[in-house]
Amino acid sequence: MSAEKAILGWEGGRLLVGHGPFTPQAAPPAEGVAFYRNDFALGVTEPWLRPTSWEIIERPAPSGGRLEVEWEVLDASPFAAVFQEISTSIRWGIFEKTVPVVVERGTLRGFHPSMLLDRAAASQRPLVPYGFSSGGKGFAGMSPERLLSLEGRTLRTMALAGTARAEEREVLAVDEKEIREHEFVAQALVSKLGDLGRLERGARAVLDLGPIVHFHTPIEVLLDRDEPVDALIRRLHPTPALGPLPRTGETMSRLLTWRERLGAPQEFGAPFGAVVDGVVRIMVAIRGVWWGGDQLKLPAGCGVIEASRLVNEWRELRLKREAVKMRFGI
């Protein structure tokens, strides 16, 4: 059986590496290191994983060359059916926004999936590497989205929504649909955090991720009192960047059903992170790949609002998947 390993990009452009076996526990330790791994529904009762050993190292240099994956032809019809159901639900007033997920599948050819973890580890800022492998299964990614960081009573998060190709950066800046989608996320975060302390919302800007760009708004809260990390995670996850708006039992249930129908990995879009001596960093597990044996899954999500159009969302999903393929060299 393959050894267990977890990675997470850490402050200063470094890499936190944990080696298993891991010991699961319900709460983060007051001292030392633990990784946080959960599913999208936050259904894991002991999500904190204490490694047998750990280290913080410099990120490795990127490795060149392509890794061969035989990709299956992606059928648009399952997504189209879900898109129509979402559009109907929006017209009925059940949702303002939600995020379906499409999964592209492939077969690894001539390389071990641990190489995907290594390639994620070499990603550079503003992308943050994350990953976990155990027993021939795992996932690895390069996420641009922080769910939260917590040091003392300073909480930082971000709204990350609204997507375009890099060459369409100037168009994105005035795209009413993308601005509206971004503001749904930013305003929801402000609403969820405003009662916890003094909140500062930064200006909306464009985050450059190479082939694609996103709207980005930083948010910082000076907490009035100490807050349990798990409670903050549940308060924030899922943001409307990955989840439903409004977030209710009914809207979450519908989204989970659509995700299951479309084959989304349970950890895609879920919180993944770590604590090191009380300093917490939790990312959103997007822009990644999932594997089991030689079978690979590449998921991507898109925000659907009333103004969304099927062909445009299908193109955005492809754009996001192609960006992941480029980063991993697959």
Supply the pLDDT for residue 164: 86
Alpha-carbon distance 330 to 326, whole Å?
A: 7
Angle, alpha carbons 41-244-208 (nearest 5°): 100
Q: Which are the contacts of 44, defined by CB distance < 8 A and separation ≥ 6?
A: 37, 38
Angle, alpha carbons 215-216-217 (nearest 5°): 130
Which residue ranges make up each domain of the chain?
5-61+75-328
Q: At what angle do helices 249-261 and 77-91 cross, to 10 degrees?
A: 170
Supply the pLDDT for residue 191: 94
Q: Which of 239 and 81 is assigned the larger pLDDT? A: 81
| Residue 119 binned pLDDT confidence (cut-offs 50, 70, 90) | very high
Mean pLDDT for 313-318 is 94
pLDDT digits (tens, 9 = 90+) for 134-146: 989 999 999 999 9
| pLDDT over 70, % of the chain | 99
Q: Can you name the residues that pair with 160 across neighbouring β-strands?
A: 216
Supply the pLDDT for residue 240: 86
* Contact by Cβ (8 Å): 297, 330: no
Supply the pLDDT for residue 2: 57
Q: At what angle do helices 310-328 and 114-121 cross, to 10 degrees?
A: 90
**Among 37-51, 155-169, 283-297, where is mean pLDDT lowest?**
155-169
Indicate the average pLDDT of the chain: 94
| Residue 230 binned pLDDT confidence (cut-offs 50, 70, 90) | very high
Q: Is the pLDDT of residue 199 over 70?
A: yes
Supply the pLDDT for residue 3: 84
Q: What is the DSSP letter of 62?
A: P
Supply the pLDDT for residue 171: 87
Supply the pLDDT for residue 1: 40
pLDDT digits (tens, 9 = 90+) for 248-282: 999 999 999 999 999 999 999 999 999 999 999 99
CATH 3.60.120.10 fits 5-61+75-328, yes or no: yes
